[in-house]
Structure 1
């Protein structure tokens, strides 16, 4: 039975089909220009770039010049790269230009597709950012595609880890900049922590093309980018709390695997109150008294560490460190740490060194970073299942681009077994059969544990010539993946998302040459060896094709259909034959959590014997429904998190815009004066109520606060005793006295010095209060959910209280700046540069590679033992209160870090 929707799609095509057809007219126009462009010399073709730029300067839009620009780009790619974009690649490029996501299958040449809209949009001179999932791809693509851009007269830069600010600024100034999402986000955060426009590296957010857009904008967007600094060490408390958890029994807590949550029961709370009281950690009568908020937080983290987080699935312990395993890719994520004390709880559980918690200095989500771009496009092999999220959060539609050649992969129905053991035995049998017929096999597993279990089973069966690619061995991954298409090759991988390396039947020729001939110089011998390898790869490809192409064999379904589709899509590239099949058991997490009890009873009644499997399209549909439910729930969670983050994002924009205005201002004297007057207004309004009699004025408190905030000892009580005095008179006298004191200071120290000091104090005070505000918002966020028990909307409560906190921040800023400026004393020291970004640690690891882009270290920090006292260049960033590395015995800020500075008397 065909649904009306299905019937409509058959008659009229899907929405993607209709949109793709809409591009065909422009494709024909581009093709019509091809012969004319082929006749041009290289110099004449390059000259077309200048003429297109001139057309834009004369008032034409990018859409007006799309056809000639794409035609020039196609011819440029043919000459510079030896690759002529197919018609479907032209369509993919137009989709990216029109603020949408091009869903293109693996092997369809997405890297080349991105060059077309990149070239077009770079003509505007406003810069284009091409976003990749790791440094390797950013560097590779900038070099590879850079040949094409430079051939047509455009400049290309690349941002990778360990570049200094000057190098970054130069790369961002190029027409086209390749970078990872992490580098872009952290550069934005660091730019907004700087004290001078000249120090900033980015020049705006015009157009970004995001490769592996689902990985970056959905998977990685689960956690924000954070720059943080350490807090006080509380290792002993974590260890103490951890010791209590093993004393609990199943009656003391409730575990919900579906929601990934665990909570104490009433019995558990009573037991903990008793042991905490004995240990002297309980304050007040009960665990949930306000004094014990911190203890409750630690207890909840310890409980999660023991009952929710599983070793070798969620994390591993390596070299005395707890290393997170990414749930999507199964890779180690060194340097990334769980926030809010959860990582410390895991370290206490595993009895390894407990590192101090961190305080957030700056933070942004990928959602809010990428929504800053005037225009955004993306490409991936799997986006359609998340189309609703892309539309709702980023305003991006998903358009499926047809393949250049028809897909010949055979996607078989799932095989469902009753137990793990039966399933894995069937998988081993299937792998052996594929090996015997010479078919390359890619085995997908969901965790390290399962990949190693399968490896052990294969060894027991006498199969030893296989590769295991998981979080423990990802260093060799690029080469392992590149050769996974050899006949009879067996590659076991935890996940195949965003590897950036094609699996080509017969093996990847370029990777083999690079690997095997790395040390061989150019010459006749190298040419001969290259020809031999080429012939060998061609022969192996024929064998692999004859055996049926790449066989993708998955050991489990993932919660997300998209991850399953990524794995499946590794087979059948560019019209190659291929095959895919998923092997499941009723003990798999997805089956177990989502209603396998009834299914097991039904299969037993049907007489399913041990070792037998059930294969039916209905099973696939039931699993797809379960996956859709999980995806919808995860989307709701991300959407809800984003609603909260949007509150902070609005405030972040205000603060960052205010900083830019302050940095751009030649002087901020007027701002300082306004702040001073506002503080005086607040003081008068506080102690002299409106329409109150003089006897009701609290002049003693007003006098004290004037001394505290304005550093002035004024006879406020004597003024108040004068006949007929009004509150406005008091206000005017305070303003006059304060302005006079400020003017005397300016005269004493010089106008130029005071203007510099004023700007420095405002910016540094604003930054300090903003960081405190971020901590307050974190604390508010952690408890606001409890408002739901009082039938109040937690989000609305959060918005209201966050606004009140922000208003308090602005009030505190006025008071703090005024108080400092009324006390400032200047002493001359050696000239200093503009203050640098404070020491901090960048946290967010690429979920598709497991590599910490920032090495997990403090930014620019060099250990003392590696510093040469004679060479300041070897010191890296030195904290201002550290002993100076030169050995003088002074603090750094009083020695080599000294500067002409404002000090508060």
Structure 2
């Protein structure tokens, strides 16, 4: 039965079709300008940029300039790089300009599409950010497209790992800046740790185009960006905890693969309590006493490391390191680390060197970072399945752009086998058949482990694996060679060359996930890459040109052979939990109207099938008499699998949405703190702010010790005296004041403020206003940063435990909001107290201008931390953050005189001689 929706779409077209029709008029107008622009000289075409900018200065809107600007870019691209935008690419550019997502199939030229909206939105001069998934693509795209922008008089910069601040500032100062999502996010966080406005590198967030938008804004959205600093080494502790886990049996823990969780059972708890008690690690009688919180946390992480994380699937061990494998791309992520002690637990499990943990200094999610942009757009080959999430979270609509040439790829229904062995046998048989016919094959697997298992089976079947540990010579596979190659995290350095030759007749390429590879599979191979590779040592000249021409002829010959064999055959060996990942693999075939084929092979033992009810299906297939080696093929199977995938996608969406609700609370506070920092940095004289804080502290002290409408004999004059001495460093006769007839609390306030202001004025007179202004600003920023870091840690702990409030029938999110607000108010109160206390105590033994020159903080790291999987990304060093310390350069500390202590580290012993740490003694007030 045909639904009413299907009938309506047939009669009126889908909403996407109707939207596409709305762009046709502007496409026609752009085409109409082409003859006029072709007649212009290069200088005349370039001059149009200045003319557009003048129109904008005179009040013209960007929408008014879309048609002439797009026509200008199209002509410039043809002259600069020899590529002319197709009509469908013009539509894609319009979608990007509107601040939406253009879904375009693989090979449709998304990189070229971006130039249209980028040029138009760069005209106002506020900067356009192009976001890519890795440094290679950022460099490649910037290098290629800069020729178009440069032709039109615009500057292009690129942000990659390893640049210093000057280079980054120059790149951000360009009209157009290319870079990775990580680099943009970390630069934002680093900027908000700087101590001078001139040292910041970014200049705002006007407009961004995100390439592979689904990968960045969906797959990585659960992963906060974090800048951290190292804590103390605790490797012995991790090894000790790790030793307890192998003693456990299956009854000691509960494992849920579907939710990817594992926890101790009651029996497991009792066994661990006894073992810990015998080892002298248990404080008190119970494992869950408050003193054992840290031990319990690390036991849980060790259990996860042993039972949830598999070697060669989730991580590999190389060079005495545990290296994470990205679950979405299958690539190794050197430098990335799991958070909250999980990576240390894995290192203990694998008996490699244990690296120290880190303390969070600043963090932000991609969701909240990219929502800062005034206008955001994206492009990808697969976004429609996540359209609801893009609209709900980012207010981005997905528009499906038709292909320039109709897709000819044939997508077969899945073949489902009972066992993995039967499935693999069918896959190998199909590979052999394609190899015999000279048809290139791309085989997609879901993990390194499975790609290597398949490689072993192929070797047993008579194939030979190309040795990728040796430098890749770029030579394409001959159709008659029984050779295959594996593209996974172990060899991703060579991935561009492997992918470029994966379309050669008879080539067999096994790949772990094809998302965001950035290189198209061209039938016959990639001529440009072969020329660069094979003729790298030849100098430009007739000989090189002749050999390049020979290579192009060879590529054309090989392409005809591949076309005759049916184009690229994509074989999926398993369904991913996300339909997008499957679509990305399929989309590698049928590029630019080429023929192609795709088929997925499944077994009831696959993770997705096993987790989502394959037992019932197995019983049904046995009753139907399915024999070994036979497969069931039916559209109903595809629909059932799609529903299972939709369930997983919906669950992941709920997870990301829930994370965002909690992160929004922190984000609101982050905005306040970061805006306050920028305001303080930009202000030369913060003495008024410091005076206001001092007066507010006095009001708080008086309010605490002198109740409203209380008689002087009811005052806590002694307590007020002690607090005034502690916070204001003033020994005042407050108890005598309380005995004065007719005195009121307001009079006490005025006297305290006068005494504190006079003391501050004496310091200005003693050290000079320039030095004191430097000290005040440094103390303010330094104290704010310190308290913010502690606040982040407190919020993390609160968030991890707040779900327990649900047992008391209270909404955890509302509880978190309320508690977070209370904590933030406390942060502001502590800021006032600590700044006032430090400035009241500061005494310079040697006050020289160079005493306040910037010093580097300890080395810091930048990483990703997923609150559900614990994934951290330490892909780079955070770089040096300069700080002006308000510390005496040379001091002699007198235990009885706090004014001689200067700046004391919070973990140092308190100079008073109590034996406590400073933060637990006088430091809690200073």
TM-score band w.r.t. shorter chain:
over 0.9
What are the Cα deviations for residues 592-639 of structure 1, in whole angstroms up to 9, with x where unaligned?
000001100000011100000000000000000000000000110011
Q: Is the 8 A contact 1:334 1:852 kept in 2?
A: no
Structure 1: distance between partners of 2:821 and 2:69 = 48
- Is 2:207 the partner of 1:188? no
Once the two structures are TM-superposed, the CA of residue 824 in structure 1 deviates from its matched residue by 1.4
The answer (yes or no) to whether the contact 2:338–2:873 under 8 Å persists in 1 is no
Residue matched to 2:4: 4
Q: How does 1:416-565 map to 2 (within 5 A)?
A: 416-464=416-464, 465-565=483-583
CA distance in 1, matches of 2:875, 2:107: 31
Query: Which secondary structure does the structure 1 equivalent of 2:64 belong to?
Result: coil
Q: Which residue in 1 is equivalent to 2:760?
A: 742
- Supply the distance in 2 between the matched residues of 1:95 and 1:432 (Cα, whole angstroms): 44
Shift of 1:285: 2.1
Deviates more, 1:662-671 or 1:102-111: 662-671
Q: In structure 2, how many angstroms separate the alpha carbons of the residues matched to 1:488 and 1:775?
A: 56
- The answer to whether 1:761 aligns with 2:779 is yes
Instruction: Show structure 2 runs of 5+ residues with no match.
Output: 465-482, 892-900, 905-910, 912-926
The alignment covers a number of residue pairs equal to: 869
In the alignment, which residue of structure 2 is the partner of 1:871?
A: none
**Does the alignment pair 1:33 with 2:52?**
no
Post-superposition CA distance 1:277-303 (Å, at most 9, x none) = 111111222111222111111111111
Q: Distance in 2 between matches of 1:419 and 1:859?
A: 51
Paired residues for 1:565-714 under 5 Å: 565-714=583-732
Task: Determine whether 1:83 maps to 2:83.
Answer: yes
Do the aligned residues in 2 keep the contact of 1:161 with 1:853 (CA within 8 Å)?
no
Shift of 1:319: 1.2
1:253 is displaced (CA, Å) by 1.2
**Partner of residue 831 from structure 2, selected from 791, 796, 813:** 813
- 1:843 pairs with 863, 866, 881, which one? 863
- 1:885 maps to what in 2? none
Which piece of structure 1 moves more, 377-386 or 724-733? 724-733
Corresponding residue of 1:413: 413
> C-alpha deviations, 1:845-901, integer Å up to 9, x for none?
99xxxx99975556469xxxxxxxxxxxxxxx9999xxxxxxxxx99xxxxxxxxx9
8 Å CA contact 1:157–1:176 kept in 2: the answer is yes
Q: TM-score, normalised to structure 1's length? A: 0.94
By how many angstroms is 1:828 displaced? 3.1
For 2:569, what is the secondary structure of its paired residue?
A: strand
Contact 1:105–1:381 (8 Å) recurs in 2:
yes
Contact 2:46 2:152 in 1 (8 A): yes
Contact 1:190–1:837 (8 Å) recurs in 2 = no
SS in 2 for 1:583: strand
Q: CA deviation at 1:696?
A: 2.1
Paired residues for 1:219-238 under 5 Å: 219-238=219-238
Alignment-derived partner of residue 865 in structure 1:
none
What secondary structure does 2:489 align onto? Answer: coil
How far apart are 1:829 and its partner, in Å?
Answer: 4.5
Match of 1:125 in 2: 125
How far off is 1:191 after superposition? 0.5
In structure 1, C-alpha distance between the alignment counterparts of 2:875 and 2:65, rounded to whole Å: 43
1:59 aligns with 2:79: no
Residues 1:520 and 1:531: Cα distance change in structure 2 (over 3 Å): same
Structure 1 CA distance for aligned equivalents of residues 874 and 795 of structure 2: 26
Residue of structure 1 in register with 2:746 after alignment: 728
- State whether residues 538 and 544 of structure 2, in contact with CA within 8 Å, keep that contact through their aligned partners in structure 1: yes
Q: Deviations over 1:72-108 (max 9, x none)?
A: 1111111111111000000000000001000000000
Structure 1 distance, partners of 2:667, 2:873, is: 24
Q: Write the distance in 2 (CA, Å) between the matches of 1:840 and 1:545.
A: 53
1:214 match: 214
SS where residue 63 of structure 1 aligns? helix
Does the C-alpha gap of structure 1 residues 374 and 836 become closer, same or farther in structure 2, counting only changes over 3 Å?
A: farther
CA-CA distance at 1:347 after TM superposition:
1.1
Structure 1 residues 550-587: Cα deviation after superposition (integer angstroms, max 9, x where no partner): 00001000000000000000000000000000000000
SS in 2 for 1:521: coil
CA offset at residue 844 of structure 1? 3.5
2:479 corresponds to = none
Secondary structure of 1:408's aligned partner: coil
C-alpha offsets along residues 678-736 of structure 1, whole Å, 9 cap, x if unaligned? 11111111111112222221111111111111011111111112122211111111111
CA contact (8 A) 1:440 1:549 kept: yes
- 1:245 maps to 245
2-side partners of 1:234 and 1:785: how far apart?
Answer: 29
Match of 1:770 in 2: 788
Specify the alignment match of 1:327 in structure 2.
327
- Distance in 1 between the 2:3 and 2:336 partners? 47
Does the Cα contact within 8 Å between 2:287 and 2:296 map onto a contact in 1?
A: yes
Rounded Cα–Cα distance in structure 1 between residues aligned with 2:570 and 2:17: 28
Instruction: Quote the offset at 1:4 in angstroms.
Output: 1.7
Gaps in structure 1 of 5+ consecutive residues: 862-876, 881-889, 892-900
Using the alignment, how far apart are the partners of 1:760 and 1:291 within structure 2? 37
Q: Is the 8 A contact 2:524 2:558 kept in 1?
A: yes
Return the alpha-carbon distance in structure 2 between the equivalents of residues 663 and 835 of structure 1: 16
Q: 1:376-391 maps to which residues of 2 (within 5 A)?
A: 376-391=376-391
Using the alignment, how far apart are the partners of 1:314 and 1:701 within structure 2? Answer: 58
SS in 1 for 2:243: helix
CA deviation vs aligned residue, 1:362-413 (integer Å, no higher than 9, x gap): 1111110000000000000000011111111111000000000000000000
C-alpha separation between the residues in 1 aligned to 2:694 and 2:283? 43
| Worse-superposed segment, 493-502 or 328-337 | 328-337
CA-CA distance at 1:7 after TM superposition: 1.9
CA distance in 2, matches of 1:486, 1:328: 26
Distance apart, 1:62 and its partner CA: 0.2
Say whether 1:828 aligns with 2:847.
Answer: yes
The aligned residue for residue 19 of structure 1 is 19
Q: Return the TM-score normalized by structure 2.
A: 0.92
**1: CA distance between counterparts of 2:713 and 2:432?**
97
CA contact (8 A) 2:105 2:380 kept: yes
Contact 1:334 1:856 in 2 (8 A): no
- RMSD of the alignment, in Å? 2.0
Q: Which residue does the alignment assign to 1:165?
A: 165
- 1:317 to 1:585, Cα distance in 2 relative to 1, 3 A: same
1:345 paired residue number: 345
Bigger shift: residues 523-532 or 246-255: 246-255
Q: Report which stretch shifted further, 774-783 or 624-633.
A: 774-783
* Secondary structure of the structure 1 residue equivalent to 2:843: strand
